[in-house]
């Protein structure tokens, strides 16, 4: 009994010492610049959010944050870089819903978008928007569904790629409304918009930042947004539920911050706390809402739980539609 008690005392003392050392390290952190890997090209929606938040986070942490764009493989290239980086709090990933869905549609399965990262916080959430070009003869989403029912598999819609959230939003819409739509994947949004505006494809599902300028210029028309509530950026555009009566339909994009697995919790909590405060600032909220993004800012454990739910939900959609990017 005495031996067991001594072992418990030793273990307890070691744990207490580790906690104190970890806390002291977190208080000193960071002591050098941080790297924020953005797995998309410069100038896109994710990159814009990354730079906007990074500038303010750098001020809060007292260290420079270097944004490093590493596009490729539907965002998986940049994510793999961060997954294998040292877990010291100096390399972050700008995560997105695609960080979860891209590995699910890849036969290579390079990582698990939830289990293989340390969640920091969800930055934003945003709608997708279903838009139509001049070749579409109807006026509403109900008209598009009616045309699809009359012409199974012959109504095309564009997305930014196989397994993208825009693709999955279209698959969910088709299944819930009982129609067959023909998915036409593009290598990103700009070439898809070129064909949509040119009348070579009738419809497209796009992220908000790419769609808003085209909608405001009246080059395309918005039929519906993919959230359960209307978007403040497009208040006159109905939701899919309002347009078709599909109450459970929702297909949102989001951006987040992630650390490599095993990053010390005090460091994760420090960064999360600073970002949450940044996202609560009125001027930051207003700017993001104007861009079509709803600021979130949740605790690491809250974000990890919601990401796991999204992974489960979209895994089922991908499996049911037999979607593969390879």
Q: How distant is the alpha carbon of residue 62 from its chain centre?
A: 27
| pLDDT of amino acid 290 | 86
Residues 153 and 211 in one domain: yes
Mark which of 219, 244, 269 sits at the end of a domain.
244
Residues 138 and 117 in one domain: no
Residues 47 and 132 in one domain: no
Mark which of 200, 228, 244 sits at the end of a domain.
244
Mark which of 213, 244, 275 sits at the end of a domain.
244
In this structure, the strands spanning 221-225 and 91-96 are: unpaired
Residues 147 and 218 in one domain: yes
The CATH number that applies at residue 176 is 3.40.190.10
In a domain, 2, yes or no: no
Residues 135 and 235 in one domain: yes
In a domain, 7, yes or no: no
pLDDT digits (tens, 9 = 90+) for 93-145: 999 999 999 999 998 889 999 999 999 999 999 999 999 999 999 999 999 99
List, as one string, the DSSP characters of 86-99. Answer: -SSSSEEEEEEHHH
In a domain, 98, yes or no: yes
CB atoms within 10 A of CB 224: 28
Tokens of 238: 């109905």
Residues 132 and 235 in one domain: yes
Residues 60 and 140 in one domain: no
The CATH number that applies at residue 67 is 3.40.190.150
| pLDDT of amino acid 5 | 63
Residues 75 and 154 in one domain: no
User: Residue 246: in which H helix or E strand, if any?
Assistant: none
Number of domains, the chain: 2
Residues 58 and 165 in one domain: no
Q: Which residues of the chain have pLDDT under 50?
A: 13-14, 16-20
In a domain, 18, yes or no: no
pTM for this entry: 0.86
Largest CA distance in the chain: 85
Enclosing domain of residue 169? 128-244
| pLDDT of amino acid 46 | 87
The whole-angstrom separation of Cα 104 and Cα 321 is 12
* Cβ–Cβ under 8 Å, residues 136 and 231: no
Contacts of 234 (CB under 8 A, 6+ apart): 127, 129, 208, 212, 215, 222, 225, 292
What are the CA-CA distances from residue 114 to residues 43, 79, 300 (Å)? 26, 11, 12
Q: Within 29-85, where are the H helices? A: 45-61, 76-83
In a domain, 93, yes or no: yes
Residues 103 and 138 in one domain: no
Residues 168 and 311 in one domain: no
The angle formed by the CA atoms of residues 66, 299 and 240, to the nearest 5 degrees, is 95
The whole-angstrom separation of Cα 227 and Cα 248 is 10
Residues 155 and 220 in one domain: yes
In a domain, 83, yes or no: yes
Q: How distant is the alpha carbon of residue 68 from its chain centre?
A: 18
């Amino acid at each position: 009994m005495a031996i067991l008690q001594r072992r418990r005392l030793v273990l307890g003392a070691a744990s207490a010492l580790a906690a104190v050392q970890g806390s002291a390290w977190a208080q000193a952190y960071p002591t050098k610049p941080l790297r924020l890997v953005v797995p998309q090209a410069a100038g896109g929606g994710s990159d814009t959010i990354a730079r906007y938040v990074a500038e303010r986070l750098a001020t809060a942490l007292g260290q420079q944050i270097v944004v490093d764009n590493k596009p490729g493989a539907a965002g998986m290239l940049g994510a793999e870089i961060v997954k294998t980086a040292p877990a010291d709090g100096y390399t972050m990933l700008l995560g997105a819903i695609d960080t979860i869905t891209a590995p699910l549609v890849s036969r290579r399965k390079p990582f698990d978008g939830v289990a293989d990262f340390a969640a920091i916080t969800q930055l934003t959430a945003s709608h997708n928007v279903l838009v139509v070009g001049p070749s579409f003869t109807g006026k509403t989403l109900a008209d598009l569904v009616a045309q699809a029912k009359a012409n199974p598999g012959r109504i095309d819609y564009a997305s930014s790629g196989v397994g993208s959230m825009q693709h999955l939003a279209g698959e969910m819409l088709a299944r819930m409304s009982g129609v067959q739509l023909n998915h036409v994947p593009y290598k990103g949004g700009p070439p898809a918009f070129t064909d949509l505006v040119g009348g070579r494809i009738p419809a497209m599902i796009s992220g908000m930042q790419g769609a808003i300028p085209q909608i405001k210029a009246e080059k395309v028309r918005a039929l519906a947004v993919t959230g359960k509530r209307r978007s403040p950026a497009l208040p006159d555009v109905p939701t899919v539920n309002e347009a078709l009566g599909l109450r459970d339909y929702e297909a949102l994009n989001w951006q987040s911050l992630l650390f490599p697995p095993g990053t010390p919790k005090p460091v994760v909590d420090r960064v999360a706390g600073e970002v949450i405060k940044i996202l609560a600032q009125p001027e930051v909220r207003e700017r993001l809402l104007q861009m079509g993004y709803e600021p979130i800012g949740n605790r690491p454990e809250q974000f990890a739980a919601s990401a796991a739910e999204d992974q489960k939900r979209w895994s089922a959609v991908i499996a049911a539609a037999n979607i593969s990017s390879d």
